[in-house]
Every structure is written in C-alpha cells, then in structure tokens.
C-alpha cells in the first residue's frame, strides 16, 4: 500500500492522497445513504451503511486510503454519556462531567460496546482493494474530555480549562480513563483490519503550550506508544490542530504528523515525522487556488515522503469536480 | 505614562498591566451601567456611559491603561450595515456583502459618523489621571470583512474565504475600503485624545499564512504606517490572534505586538517588537495558576520592556479578587 509505505517514510513517485471528511456531504452518494440511515448517529451505528459511505469516496474518486465512517464522540457515548446531534447545533451531551463521581461512573470497558465500528472496519477491509489503506481513528483524550465537560462545542472551553487549572488531578483522572478506553478501542480497530490509526486533537489549540504538553500530548503519546509497541506495522498519525507555535516540541512514537492549514509546512518540516496535509480546504472553491496550493506543497516536500491531505475537513458545498481536479493536480507532474 | 514608555521600548521597574475586556461583565459596576444603557449597542453609542465603563477598571483595579469602551463592529455599522446583537448569538448583520455593488454602497465617509466614540474618548481622557494611558482601537480590515461577508461569527469563514479564493480582487476592494475608513477613524480617535491604538485581528487564525500576509497583514501594515507617519508619538499595537506558526514573518511599523496564549512568548520574542500578553485567561480561575503563569512570563521577558496582559479577553465569571491577585503578582517581585 502506497499510503502505508509513505507513512513509514518511503517516498514514491506519486504522492498518496486522502481527505479528512472525504465521506461527507459534498458527495450526493453520501447524502443518499445518510437519508436511508436517518440521523447521523444511526449512520454511525449501522455497520453496513457506515461501510458503504466509507467506500464511496475511494470508489468514486480513487483516493489512496479510506477512513472508517464514524464519529469521535461514540467513545464518550459508550462510556455512558447519552449523545444527540441537534440540527444546526452539533453534538450535545445532556449529562456532563463535573466531579470525581462523574468520572468514576464512566464505563472503563466501553471499547467492548463499539462493535458497530469494528464490524464496519471488518466489512470495509474485505471490500476495499488490497492496495488501498483503511484508516481507523479516535479523538484525542483532551478533545473528548472537552465535549464531556462542556456538553457541546465551545468557543472558550472555559469549563474544561476551569477544571484543568482548579482541579488538575481531576482532569488527569478523566484523561487517564479516556486514554485507557482508547487503547482498547484502537487495538480493536486494528484487529478488525485498520491499517493505520489517526488521533484527532481538534481542540489542541484551546490550550497554552505548557498545558497542552501536560494535559493532551502526554496522553496522545501514551496511546501511540502502547499501539506502536504491540503493532509496529500499523501507522500512527496524530493531528493536533492549531499548534504551529510549538509544533517542534511534540515528541511521540508516531509515524505521521497531520498539519493544519494555519501551520506553515516549512515549520512542520523541522519535526522528525512524515507530514500529512495541509492544503487550505477553502482553496477547493477555486481551480486556480487548487493548482497554486498543490504546487506550493509539492515544492516544499519534494525531498521527503509526504501524504497529501487538506489542512482540515472538506466543506459540504465543494463541487466534486474540484476534488477531481485536486487529485489530478496531486498525481500529475 | 509608564504604559506608553513601555510601548516605545523603555523597560521600567514595574511592568505596566491592562487586560483585554477589562471593562466587562466580571465587574458588578459594569453590569450596573450596562443595565442603565439597555442593550450593548446603546452602551457603545452613549458616550457618557461608555466613558463611565471605560474608567471603572482603572478606578477600581488601578490598571495602567484604559481602553475606550466600544465594539469593532461600529465601523461596518456606520459604513451602512445594520447591526444587532441577538441574545446568546452575538452580533448579526442582516445585510451582507456578496458583490462589487455591495462594496460600492458602503459609506467611505463612515468615520464622520462615529462621534459617539470620539466624544467618549475626549471625556475619558479629561477624567483619566495623567499617568494613565487611554487606548483607542479598531478591528483589522480582514476581521471586519469576515463579519460583513458572513453576517455573523463563523466556525469556518467559508463565505469569506470563498470570496478570497474565487474573487481575490473583490476581496481586496472591500479590504481597501475598510482600511480607508479605519485610517480616518483611528486618526479621529487620536485627535480626541487616545494615546495608543490597538488593531484587533481576532480572526487572523482563519487564514493560511500566505493569504494572511496578502489579505490581512498588508492592510494592518498600511494602517500602521499611515498613523505612525502622522502621529509618531502614538503607540501602535497589533494583535493578530493565533498566528504563532508564522509570527516571525510579520513586519510593520508597529510598536507593540499582542501575543495570544497559544503562541509561546519564546517564539514571539524573536520578533523586533515590544510584546504584550500573554497570560492564558483561564489561569484567572486559580490563584496558584495565576502565580505560576505570571512568574513564567516575568522570567521570559526579564531583559525587555513588556506590557502585561492576558492572551485574550477576561471571561465574565472570573472573581474580581483573582484579578486583584494577578495585579499584585505582576507588580510585586
């Protein structure tokens, strides 16, 4: 698999490409399957339909990797926090974590309840061509913790950071418990057939650098070390969003570092990892901007193995034609 | 004024301190005045009440500078876009900018309609002690443009960036027109008595580095150059939020660079400017976190003139007692 070879540092003639949110609303086929499933969470829980939307972008657009269709919040859900997706509001947990008793109540064996994810991975791996990689994933402990404490997305993360600064030990207990579940969760994804695991730290940017290292990267690093020791052939990708100011401080047993669009690749190139990214997703609105953006990235990484991706998820109103054009630009000289 | 001296690079024994949003809801006195005014916009437009809340934090907490109470969005409002503040939703423009005709309709003489700001500055400067500085401010052209294009705050800035990549010339026309208004607006604030001007680029982080330099920093730089040439004794502060990954690329005729909490001071210290910042605002939830945070910053900037501030605005639920403790930590050895 060109994708996995590249994760391990082997430069090939053509750069492998996939896109975050490649199974998403910009594809009519996704919207049709989603309509069959009903709501978003039902689609995550139906392993056949989840597998169907996972395969669509590879079948339609010939990406080099599929990423299993799911959501990072199925983990807190199965740890015991009821989850709903309110129209226009995003995910909402009506019960939140505020104290040590709440943490104690969380189910440490939650990974055993996520068979719908493992079944989707198994089915997808069976159907996927052997030269295409299947990526499993999870949210980073810090990012999951913010949802569990705030109850929903947040502009300030004030509740989470209040806990972090007022009760750092409580925060560490929560993060350790989530990390424990994630080890088993990722391991089960690997056993089901995932060839790589991506750890999404979407709210990395909420923390000051010293707090990030202590309360987030430490746990990503622990998770990566656990997986790498047991499964050295599986590629581990970390995607801490918005840490451009201190990206050089991030040390862990990962293979690939995902780079968001606000971090210059020049800066990320100072890290020891294979990089993944970082085309500004809004460049997909314009073919000229796609062409220019791809050529800048190609020039910057010409001497190194690199995985082409966007710097964040694709937006729902991007024309499929522009995605085809992007792939063409990446694959052609 | 110790604040202005420090902006110009003179290191003093005690570091000057002010806080973004220091006139805000964490103060009971602010809430009382706000209640008198009615809604937020009425408070901005009543120069006597605006001056009252501007002075409160200096009177109560003895900050070294006051920042005039207003909102960056009064500029697009007076350029012709009706503005309302919906409860829980933030600012909303019901009319938005989508094409060249919309840009043409914007009032280039809007600065002449902002007397309520100039009157508030004049009154405040009269009442403020001579050793305390008065800071005027505006939003950066890019940040204002995003509100005018999106109609409200945004998670993705997709409309703004779609315009930027599809119609870069249209975007430049809009930014140039806003910049024109801001030159006159800031100039009038200086004439009314402001000792410094801070340019807030709150959504700097929405752009990839190359787009940031072309579509935002270029205009901040133009504005700073205009003001600095005519008013060299006025301190110019730029606060581009979330640009830690490429902060070293920012060249302009500014005196002070505001640093958000996600950018390490170590990195910002590589720029040629006096720095302002960057205590993580959520550290104010805990006295221990305040003490540790202040001592880290003091150690990092011990050889340089520095303005103490938070890395972003103070949150409404911070106890005033903790703000007093912060000021004590900053002023005492």
DSSP string of A109-167? Answer: TGGGG-HHHHHHHHHHHHHS-TTSEEEEEEE-HHHHHHHHHHSB--SS-HHHHHHHHH-
- Does residue A257 register a pLDDT over 80? yes
**Res B129: pLDDT:** 98
- Does residue A333 register a pLDDT over 80? no
Condensed to tens digits (0 to 9), the pLDDT of residues B33-85 reads: 999 998 899 999 999 999 999 999 999 999 999 999 999 999 999 999 999 99
- Does residue B89 register a pLDDT over 90? no
Q: For B249-274, what is the mean pLDDT? A: 97
- Does residue B125 register a pLDDT over 90? yes
Residue A191, both tokens: 């056993």
**Res A105: pLDDT:** 98
Structural domain of B105: 2-331
Residue A299, both tokens: 């020039």
Given pLDDT bands bounded at 50, 70 and 90, which one contains residue B290?
very high
How many Å lie between the alpha carbon of A265 and the closest alpha carbon of chain B? 10
Distance CA B9, CA A116 (A): 61
A105 is catalytic: no
Q: Is the backbone of residue B149 left (phi > 0), alpha (psi -120 to 50) or beta?
A: alpha
- Does residue B97 register a pLDDT over 90? yes
> Using CB atoms and an 8 Å cut-off, which of residues 285-324 of chain B contact chain A?
285-286, 288-289, 296, 311, 315, 317
Report the percent of chain B where pLDDT is more than 70.
100
Condensed to tens digits (0 to 9), the pLDDT of residues A67-94 reads: 999 999 999 999 999 999 987 778 999 9
Cβ atoms of residues A102 and A163 within 8 Å: no
Distance CA B54, CA B123 (A): 10
Task: Pick from A161, A241, A282 the residue to mutate for testing the B interface (most B CBs within 10 Å).
Answer: A282
**Res B147: pLDDT:** 97
Size of the A and B interface in Cβ pairs below 8 Å: 91
Distance CA A333, CA A64 (A): 18
Q: Cβ contact (<8 Å) for A286 and B158?
A: no
How many Å lie between the alpha carbon of B194 and the closest alpha carbon of chain A? 30
A246 touches chain B (CB under 8 A): yes
For tokens 């940040």, the residue is B143
End-to-end CA distance of chain B: 21
How many Å lie between the alpha carbon of A287 and the closest alpha carbon of chain B? 9
CATH number at residue B319: 3.20.20.210
User: For all residues of chain B together, what is the average pLDDT?
Assistant: 97
- Does residue A326 register a pLDDT over 80? yes
**Res B88: pLDDT:** 75
**Res B260: pLDDT:** 97
Report the percent of chain A where pLDDT is more than 90.
96
Q: Which chain A residues are Cβ-neighbours of B267 within 8 angstroms?
A: 245-246
Question: Which residue in A has a C-alpha nearest to residue B206's C-alpha?
Answer: A262
Given pLDDT bands bounded at 50, 70 and 90, which one contains residue A225?
very high
Report the percent of chain B where pLDDT is more than 90.
96
Q: Cβ contact (<8 Å) for A208 and B280?
A: yes
Nearest to A7 by CA among A293, A276, A284, A313: A276
How many Å lie between the alpha carbon of B209 and the closest alpha carbon of chain A? 6
Q: Which chain B residues are Cβ-neighbours of A263 within 8 angstroms?
A: 245
**Res A86: pLDDT:** 81
Distance CA B257, CA B305 (A): 12
- Does residue B86 register a pLDDT over 90? no
How many Å lie between the alpha carbon of A104 and the closest alpha carbon of chain B? 24
Distance CA A24, CA A284 (A): 15
Does the model's ipTM exceed the 0.90 cut? yes
Cβ atoms of residues B307 and B15 within 8 Å: yes
Side-chain-facing half-sphere of B312: CA atoms under 13 Å: 22
How many other CB atoms are there within 10 angstroms of residue B87's CB atom? 6
B25 is catalytic: yes
When divided into structural domains, chain B yields a total of 1
B34 is catalytic: yes
Query: Which is catalytic among the residues A5, A59, A71, A102?
Result: A71
Q: Cβ contact (<8 Å) for A286 and B311?
A: no
Q: Which chain B residues are Cβ-neighbours of A264 within 8 angstroms?
A: 209, 245-246
Measured CA distances, B27 to B46, B61, B118, B323 (Å): 19, 10, 24, 10
Nearest by CB to residue B262, choosing from A165, A245, A261, is: A245
A21 is catalytic: yes
DSSP state of A213: I
- Does residue B87 register a pLDDT over 90? no
Q: For B17-34, what is the mean pLDDT? A: 97
Nearest by CB to residue A280, choosing from B208, B243, B283, is: B208
**Res A88: pLDDT:** 75
3-state DSSP assignment of residue B230: helix
B283 touches chain A (CB under 8 A): yes
Given pLDDT bands bounded at 50, 70 and 90, which one contains residue B168?
very high
Distance CA B115, CA B70 (A): 12
**Res B102: pLDDT:** 98
Q: Cβ contact (<8 Å) for A289 and B156?
A: no
């Amino acid at each position: 698999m060109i994708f996995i070879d590249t994760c391990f540092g082997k430069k090939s003639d053509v750069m492998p490409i996939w896109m975050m949110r490649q199974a998403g609303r910009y594809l009519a086929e996704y919207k049709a399957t989603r309509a069959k499933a009903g709501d978003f969470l039902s689609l995550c829980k139906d392993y056949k339909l989840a597998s169907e939307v996972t395969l669509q972008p590879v079948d339609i657009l010939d990406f080099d990797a599929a990423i299993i269709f799911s959501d990072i919040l199925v983990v807190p859900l199965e740890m015991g926090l009821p989850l709903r997706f309110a129209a226009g509001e995003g995910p909402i947990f009506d019960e939140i974590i505020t104290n040590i008793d709440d943490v104690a109540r969380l189910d440490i064996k939650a990974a055993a309840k996520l068979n719908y994810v493992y079944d989707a991975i198994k089915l997808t791996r069976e159907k996927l061509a052997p030269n295409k990689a299947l990526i499993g994933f999870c949210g980073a402990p810090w990012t999951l913790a913010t949802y569990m404490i705030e109850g929903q997305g947040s502009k300030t993360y004030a509740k989470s950071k209040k806990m972090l600064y007022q009760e750092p030990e409580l925060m560490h207990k929560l993060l350790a418990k989530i990390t424990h579940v994630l080890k088993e969760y990722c391991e089960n994804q690997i056993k089901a057939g995932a060839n790589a695991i991506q750890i999404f730290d979407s709210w990395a940017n909420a923390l000051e650098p010293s707090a990030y290292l202590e309360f987030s990267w430490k746990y990503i690093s622990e998770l990566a070390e656990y997986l790498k020791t047991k499964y050295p052939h599986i590629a581990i990708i970390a995607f801490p969003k918005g840490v451009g100011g201190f990206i050089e401080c991030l040390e862990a047993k990962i293979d690939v570092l995902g780079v968001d669009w606000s971090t210059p690749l020049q800066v990320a190139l100072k890290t020891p990892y294979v990089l993944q990214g970082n085309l500004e997703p809004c460049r997909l609105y314009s073919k000229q901007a796609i062409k220019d953006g791809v050529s800048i990235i190609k020039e910057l990484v010409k001497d190194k193995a690199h995985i082409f991706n966007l710097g964040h998820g694709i937006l729902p109103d991007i024309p499929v034609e522009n995605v085809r054009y992007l792939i063409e630009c990446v694959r052609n000289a």
